[in-house]
Structure 1
């Protein structure tokens, strides 16, 4: 029987983080969505992009903890985006692109704090990744699910996501699906 757990993280555009974790061994499912906002109701992509709802673009990862530990998942997360830029990843700017770990329980919170401390020496600048209790998660619209897989030749995918996947393959080859 599988030991399926959930992790919810945001590291800029959810198309990027989704594409990264779809390649990781032990990941069963990745859902793009929104969390952390203050506006009531199910937000839309257009509302999120305004930066006015307070939500972050996030992914919710279902993973088999017997294959991929939560700690290893967070190390992959922290090394495949820039956790030192506040409310920004590359050209994507705004609070919706913040670096965030939403923990599902106290054990995840403690592990997140340890991982941030462990990876901090590898960065020139201070890590600004937020660690917060999970707030309601809203699944993004259908066209945002499996975005990279469905749109690899699109410009953003070619110039932003493909290099992130190359970095993943270089840093974490031992953690990838066969």
Structure 2
């Protein structure tokens, strides 16, 4: 991609100019394929749902609801080229200073309770796992979808993504 006068050039990167964002978190391209917006918590419309733990706010991503924790887990990790904290010091936490993520490398995102590092997992990949793997019901009623080292936990009604785990 090339910046021309502070903006992207349509001739260099036409896909940026043929994309529209809908109000439900979908991104559609000119060829008709729907892709889910991979954004941060503030990028998505919100919906409050009564849960067993009381009212909770969820991000609307496509046709599914995602907890703030799940959205934070999907964020870029910032770990692609890093080998640790920068030599000149450590980045300050975004909000709070809870362990184990204080003074650790990578991008930290507040999940509503604490800072966590993202796992670089797109919502489209999460949906692919949900659509193409067999779910196992957990003892608490939640549904566990697993593909390789990724695990997606859905609420008992399968409408809310509770968390996304990267299991090594």
TM-score, L = length of structure 2: 0.25
Q: Which has the higher helix share?
A: 1
Q: Which is bigger in relative contact order (C-alpha 8 A, separation at least 6)?
A: 1
TM-score, L = length of structure 1: 0.24
